[in-house]
Structure 1
């Protein structure tokens, strides 16, 4: 039977190496950014989450902007979802 002490020492030496910290930070940042972007896409005006309003894009008025950044257009209001 193999003693767990050498395996644990090898795992700790490789898994928690100082050189691996930037990789963990980059992967964590990428996962956070991807989660935020997927949430932002899921809350858009063309996504239907309930059957009580099957066409939520029809509730957008002409003076409301739905984009996060509009380069050459100025809108009076920004669209927001009332209910999910």
Structure 2
């Protein structure tokens, strides 16, 4: 596959920047996923700690998605037919 890409790049040198951008994107996505999977609260040891959420402090702040909605503009009645 790499040999085919190199042969194609030799025939069409304008594709070399595109190959580099794609490789940079794949490398960045791989790095991001690796860092995400090895975060501070990720536990891969399931034998010694099958329920890791029980070891968190009671004051631990979980991340939730909060959507600010203005409830005054919402209709309270159903549609009129």
In the superposition, the TM-score normalised over structure 2's length comes to: 0.46
Q: Which has the higher contact order (CA 8 A, sep 6+)?
A: 1
Bigger radius of gyration, 1 or 2? Answer: 2
More strand by share: 1
Q: TM-score, normalised by structure 1?
A: 0.45
